[in-house]
Amino acid sequence: MTNTASTTVTSPPTDTAATGIPGGTFTLPGGPTVTRMGYGAMQLAGPGVFGPPADRDAAVAVLREAVALGITHLDTADIYGPHVTNEIIREALHPYAAELTIATKVGARRDEQGGWPPARAPQQLREDVHQNLDRLGVDVLDVVNLRVGGLLDPEPGSIAEPFAALAELQREGLIRHLGVSNVTAAQVAEARSIAPVVCVQNHYNLAHRDDDELVDALAEEGIAFVPFFPLGGFSPLQSAALDTVAARLGATPMAVALAWLLQRSPNILLIPGTSSLAHLRENVAAADLGLSADDLAELDAIGRVSG
Ligand SMILES: NC(=O)c1ccc[n+]([C@@H]2O[C@H](COP(=O)([O-])OP(=O)(O)OC[C@H]3O[C@@H](n4cnc5c(N)ncnc54)[C@H](OP(=O)(O)O)[C@@H]3O)[C@@H](O)[C@H]2O)c1
């Protein structure tokens, strides 16, 4: 590991206008190449990620625009709705372009109160992989993440049994690549001892940087780190320092927060979620926003203060 929690790894921003590729690309180990600027579909379900959206046509339009803007990495889960976002993805994009990678996750379900109880028994994982296959309308899932911890952060403990169950489904040809989500570094290591892990999806953003060391360690291994809540999720990022840097650059705070993640480490893949076409376009444009060393130093201080 070469970088510490207080050091920002910088990689040059990629000029989307020049390349047509938002934020440049990253090749998952042994797997497909995806745009580093992706899209997270959770916001396409109804309030509380439950039920249908108010405007289904608008949700379809957001997905089609994401692909039209060059995005080749979508994140979803059959528990969004449940079933709703996968069904909208299918309606909007099926048959899928060859270059599109759809990552989904299993390991939890929804209850009647809208909660997210764990569902990691091997039979439940098998059922939920089949739910994803059916709703997305595919024979093989590109990437399946085993979702482990609580809503926001990991909980320690062995994940050997559920990850081995997913590895078995991979051997059966139902899954191309495996990832893990809401996990500790020890759980990543345990999963990797069972089968290759191509991505880790954890809670991480400018203000929530518990995984700084994990980001750097995964970068050294060529494994993608996919931060969920890159914009703060249900509690949008708010910071005077972020506002100051954004005003100086003539950009929005959300665009700066995404540009910071892209420059933080080359293995970071973004999946900001939005139900708005305007926000989607703004988020993709953020891939072109270059941050100076001074900008980065000011932004780095936010994470050190809020821990
Ligand atoms: N593995 C897990 O346990 C887990 C947990 C949570 C999420 N995820 C995945 O991670 C993805 C990203 O997380 P997220 O969508 O919850 O949170 P997020 O990307 O941090 O933030 C989404 C929120 O920001 C707003 N927003 C987006 N772009 C904006 C912009 N340019 N300006 C102002 N507001 C903007 C959205 O509202 P509008 O709709 O109004 O734009 C929405 O309220 C999800 O879509 C999901 O695929 C995974």
Closest residue CA from atom 13 of ligand 1: 229
pLDDT, tens digit, 9 for 90 and up, residues 241-252 = 999 999 999 999
201 lines ligand 1 (CB under 6 A): yes
231 lines ligand 1 (CB under 6 A): yes
Claim: this prediction has a pTM higher than 0.75: yes
276 lines ligand 1 (CB under 6 A): yes
pLDDT, tens digit, 9 for 90 and up, residues 274-297 = 999 999 999 999 999 999 999 999
What residues of the chain score a pLDDT lower than 70? 1-20, 305-307
* Burial of residue 255 (number of CB atoms within 10 Å: 0-12, 13-18, 19+): buried
Closest residue CA from atom 17 of ligand 1: 233
Calpha distance 20→29 (Å, rounded): 23
Domain boundaries, the chain: 31-306
275 lines ligand 1 (CB under 6 A): yes
pLDDT at 208: 96
- Number of residues assigned to the chain: 307
80 carries an active-site annotation? yes
181 lines ligand 1 (CB under 6 A): yes
User: Which residues make beta-bridge pairs with 50?
Assistant: 81
Find all residues with CB under 8 Å of 62, minimum gap 6, and list them. 44, 274, 275, 276, 277, 280
Closest residue CA from atom 4 of ligand 1: 228
Q: Measured in angstroms, how far is the CA atom of residue 271 from the centroid of ligand 1? A: 8
- Please give the CATH architecture assigned to the domain spanning 31-306: Alpha-Beta Barrel (3.20)
pLDDT at 19: 54
Query: Is 145 strand, coil or helix?
Result: strand
Closest residue CA from atom 8 of ligand 1: 228
pLDDT at 2: 27
